[in-house]
Homo-oligomer: A and B are copies of this chain.
Amino acid sequence: LDYQHVQVPFEITLWIMLASLAKIGFHLYNKLPSVVPESCLLIFVGLIMGGIIYGLNDRSPPVMDSDIFFLYLLPPIVLDAGYFMPSRPFFENIGTILLYAVVGTIWNVFGIGFSLYGICQVKAFRLQDVSLLHNLLFGSLIAAVDPVAVLAVFEEIHVNEKLHILVFGESLLNDAVTVVLYKLFRSFCEMPTIKSVDVFAGVGKFFVVGLGGVLVGLSFGFTAAFTTRFTKDIRVIEPLFVFLYSYLSYLTAEMFHLSGIVAIISCAMGMKRYVEANISLKSHTTVKYFMKMWSSVSDTLIFIFLGVSTIGENHEWNWPYICFTVIFCLVWRALGVLVLTFFVNRFHVNTITSKDQFIIAYGGLRGAICFSLVFLLPDFHRKKLFIAATTVVILFTVFIQGMTIRPLVDLLAVKRKRESAPTVGEQIHIRFLDHLLAGIEDISGHWGQYYWKDKLEYFNSKYLQKILLREYDQPKSSIVLLYEKLERKHAIELAQAGQLGHGPAHPSFLSSSDRTVITDQKLEDTPNPNVLDNMQEILARNLYRIRRTGPAYNRHTLPGDSEPTERAKEILILRHKSL
C-alpha cells in the first residue's frame, strides 16, 4: 500500500465525490429541498463530518484554507454567474446595483464598525481592548453580501428578475469595495500612525481596484473571443479557452490586487456573445454544462467546508459582541436599503416596491467570503472572537434567513419570475421598442441608457464583430439565433416522437392524377424547401436592415447628405437645453 504517493489527488477526488453524493442524496427525497435550502443541508453535513473528525482525532478539524477558497473554489462560481448573467436586466439596473454595492456596502461597513465600537465602550461587556480600527476591519469583512450564499438561496425561490438581479448584482460588485476597505483597514491596523493622505489614497484605490478589474477582465475576454476565431479545425479544445482565459483574468487581477470577481465577470460577459458565435454547437453545450457542473460542485464544497470549519476550538465566545453583531448587520442593512431606495425611486418610473425592499434587505446573506477573510486576519488577541462572530452571522443568515425567506416571499406575494422563455414575437417587439426609445432619447437630446446601448451596439457591429467573429459576413441577430434554436428543439422533439416526415416516401405508389393534387397542395400546406429558405433569408436580412443599416432609422450615418447641418444643429440645441 502506497497511500502517500496518491494522497493529494485521492483526497481531492474523495471530497468532490462526497459533495456530489450529498447532492444526489438530498434530491432523492423530494420533500426536503422544498423546505430547507440546499446550502443549509450542506452546512449540516459539514457540521456532522466536522464533529466526526473532531471526535476521532480529538483536535480541531482543518479549516477551509483561504487560498484554496479564493484560488480554486470561488472562480468557477463567479465565472458561472458572470457567463449566465442576464445582461438586459443587469445593465438596465446597473445604476441601482452600483449604488447598493458601493454606497450601501460603505454604509454598512462604517455603520456596523462604529456601532460595535460603541458596544465595546460598555464596561460590563469587557470589550474595551477592541479598538475602533479593529471594529472597522471587522465591519469591512462582515458587511459584504456573499454571492455564493445569495445564489444558492435565490435560485430556489424564483423571485422576479429585477429583484434577483438587484441582490445578486450587488453581491458580486461589492467585492471591489470589500477588497479595498478590508486591505485598507488591515494596513491601518499595522501602521503606527494614519495620515490623511492614506485615507485619500484609499478612496482613489477603490476606483483603481474596480475599474482595473473591469479592464483586465475585458481584455482577457476579447482575447478569448479572438482566439476562438482560429479553432475551426480543432473544435475539441474550444471550451478550454473559455475556462483558461477567464481563470487567467481572475488570477491576473488578484496578482495586481485588483478585484478578481469583477475581472472574471467582465471577462465572461465580454466574451460570451462572440465566443458563442465562434464555437461549435457541441462546444457550447460543453462550456455551459461544464460551467454549471463546476460551479455546482464548488458551491457544494464551500458549504460543506463551512460546516466542517465551524467545529473546533477556534472560537472565543462573548454574548454581547456576537448578539449585537447579528443585530447591527440586520439593522444597518435594512436602513441602508430604505434610504438608498428612497433616492433610487425618486429618479425612476419603475420603482422598487416596499415588498421588494424588504426582500432585498432580508436577502443580504453572508457566506464563505467573510469566513475566508476573517481567517486571513493578522494574528491579534481578539481574532477568535471575530471568527466566532463571523461564524454566527453566517449560520444565522444562511439558516434563519435562508429558511424563512421562501415562506416570506409566499406570504408577501412578491412578484415571481415568469416561467416561460420569451417567444420570437416578444423578442422582436422588445427590440423594436428599444430602438424606438433610442430614437426618442436621441431626438430629445437625452443621453440615457438606450442612447448608450445603441452607441455600444454600433461600436460592436462596426469594429468588435469584425475583429472577434470568425464569419463576419454572416452575423446572426439573436432573434434569428433564437428562431434556429426553437427549430432545432422542435426537430429533435419530432424525431424523438417518430413524427419526422421524410418527404414523399413512395411516390411510385401514387397514381399520376393524385400526384398533381398533392404537388399543388404542398405549396400551400407545408411550403416547399426553397420557399422556406427564401422566407428565412428575408426574415434574417430584414431584421438586420431595421437594426443597423435601414436608412430611415440609422442614426450613425446620415442618409445621403440631405440637410445634415440643420439636423445636427437641432439635436445640439435640444442637448443644450437638456443639459
Contacts and interface: CB of A to CB of B under 8 A. Distances in A.
Contact of A491 (B6, B494, B505): B494
A72 B3 contact: no
Given A23-B237, A236-B293, A290-B290, A2 B244 contact: no
Interface string A479-500: 0000010011011101111111
A517 interface: yes
A490 B495 CA distance: 8
A244 B294 CA distance: 13
A504 to B, nearest CB: 5
A28 interface: yes
A240 B292 CA distance: 11
Nearest to A33: B233
Interface string A521-549: 10011110100110110000000000000
A529 B293 contact: no
A27 B233 contact: yes
Contacts of A227: 21, 24
A518 interface: yes
A554 to B, nearest CB: 29
Interface string A10-45: 100110110011011001101000000000000000
Contacts of A20: 237, 240-241, 244
A516 to B, nearest CB: 11
A5 interface: yes
Interface in A343-379: none
A282 interface: yes
Interface in A228-262: 230-231, 233-234, 236-237, 239-241, 244, 247-248, 251-252, 254-257
B532 A24 contact: no
B506 A524 contact: yes
A71 interface: yes
Given A234-B23, A286-B289, A13 B514 contact: no
Contacts of A525: 504-506, 510, 518
A9 B237 contact: no
A192 interface: no
A526 B507 CA distance: 10
A129 interface: no
A283 interface: yes
B234 A27 contact: yes
Nearest to A280: B289
A286 B236 CA distance: 11
With most chain B CB atoms within 10 A of its CB, the pick from A16, A24, A503 is A24
A254 B285 contact: no
B495 A17 contact: no
Interface in A265-321: 282-283, 285-286, 289-290, 292-293, 296-297
A30 B239 CA distance: 22
A1 interface: yes
For chain A, the bracket of interface size reads 35 or more
A495 B500 contact: no
Contacts of A283: 289
A10 to B, nearest CB: 5
With most chain B CB atoms within 10 A of its CB, the pick from A251, A252, A256, A484 is A251
A425 interface: no
Contact of A509 (B237, B492, B506, B524): B524
A526 B499 CA distance: 9
Contacts of A24: 227, 230-231, 234, 237
Contact of A71 (B9, B240, B496): B9
Contact of A529 (B237, B257, B498): B498
A87 to B, nearest CB: 22
Interface of A: 1-3, 5-6, 9-10, 13-14, 16-17, 20-21, 23-24, 27-28, 30, 67, 71-72, 227, 230-231, 233-234, 236-237, 239-241, 244, 247-248, 251-252, 254-257, 282-283, 285-286, 289-290, 292-293, 296-297, 484, 487-488, 490-492, 494-506, 509-510, 514, 517-518, 521, 524-527, 529, 532-533, 535-536
Q: Which are the 5 A-B pairs with shortest beta-carbon distances? A: A491-B491, A501-B526, A491-B495, A27-B233, A286-B289
Given A13-B248, A24-B237, 16 more contacts: A2-B255, A5-B254, A6-B254, A10-B251, A10-B252, A16-B240, A17-B244, A23-B237, A234-B296, A236-B292, A239-B290, A286-B290, A488-B495, A510-B525, A514-B517, A518-B518
